[in-house]
Structures are given as structure tokens and as C-alpha cells.
Amino acid sequence: MSKNFEAQGIIHSIDETRSYGANGFTKREFVIKLSGEGEKPEYPNYIALELLKDKCALMDAYRVGEEVVVHFNLSGRLWNAPGKPEKCFTSLQAWKVERVGSEGGFAGGVDDYSQSMPNYDDDVPF
């Protein structure tokens, strides 16, 4: 089981969603420049994260330059090919993205549910 982490940063790039294999597996990568407490602008840290399957659509609501908090799992696997040295691959698999300052809000920064509600008068008879 992988452990959950979060990182705050400014979106540097957002890749397109890509499909792999015959079964339609999808993956989307994006990069953030870490920001927030403890980060020094003179020594920027960039990290690449990935969204898998139905989570790929999460980045549709965001643009380069926006500051976000990304919740992700850290995972890794070993790869062994005959006659080659063993390799270890590490992945930061994002599962939630939210704008800085919109804690408890929706990914778009606006409560989509309340936006779709009709505007009723306050003096309803019930």
C-alpha cells in the first residue's frame, strides 16, 4: 500500500491525455514548481506527477501558472529485463487537485452545485 502525500506548487506544464495498449489505459502528466513554506525561489524544485484513467480529466479545469495543492500517492516498481541491470521506477500518482485558497471547494474554485440551483425568493410558504 502506498502512502498519501501532498505538495503545493505552481503549474509549470500540462501534457495531453495519452492512451496506451489495446485496453485503452490512459495517463496524463503535469509538472509543478514547488511553492509554499520552506521553498526557496532561488533554488526551484520541479516535480512531475501523473494522473491515471478517469483522473486524467482533473487537469481540464486548470491552466499553467495557477497555484495548486496536489494530493498524490508515492509508488514504485522494479523492472527486470534479461541481460540488463535491474531498474526502479517511481511514480507520483495524483488523485486530487485543488486551487490554493479553495480548501473544501471544488476543483474549479466554484461550487458547481450551487451555481446550477434556481434562485428562489426567501419568503417561501413552507
pTM, two decimals, is: 0.74
Residue by residue, DSSP assigns 62-106 as --TT-EEEEEEEEEEEEE--TTS--EEEEEEEEEEEEETT-TTS-
First-to-last alpha carbon distance for the chain, in angstroms, is: 51
pLDDT band at 1 (very low <50, low <70, confident <90, very high): low
d(CA 36, CA 45): 11
Continuous segment of H or E residues that includes residue 30: strand 25-34
Asked if residue 109 lies in contact with residue 102, where contact means CB atoms within 8 angstroms, the answer is: yes
CA neighbours closer than 13 Å in the CB half-sphere of residue 33: 11
* Residue 24: per-residue pLDDT: 85
Which DSSP symbol is given to 114?
Answer: H
Q: Is the pLDDT of residue 119 over 60?
A: no
pLDDT, residue 53, reads 94
**What's the pLDDT tens digit per position in 79-118?**
999 999 999 999 999 999 999 986 544 444 333 333 333 3
pLDDT band of residue 121 (cuts 50, 70, 90) is very low
- Note the pLDDT of residue 112: 37
Instruction: Tell me the average pLDDT across 60-73.
Output: 97
Q: What's residue 103's pLDDT?
A: 56
pLDDT band at 3 (very low <50, low <70, confident <90, very high): confident
**Residue 112 DSSP SS3:** helix
- What is the set of domains in the chain, with CATH numbers? 4-104 (2.40.50.140)
What is d(CA 73, CA 40) in angstroms, rounded to the nearest whole number? 24
Which cell goes with 72? 498524490
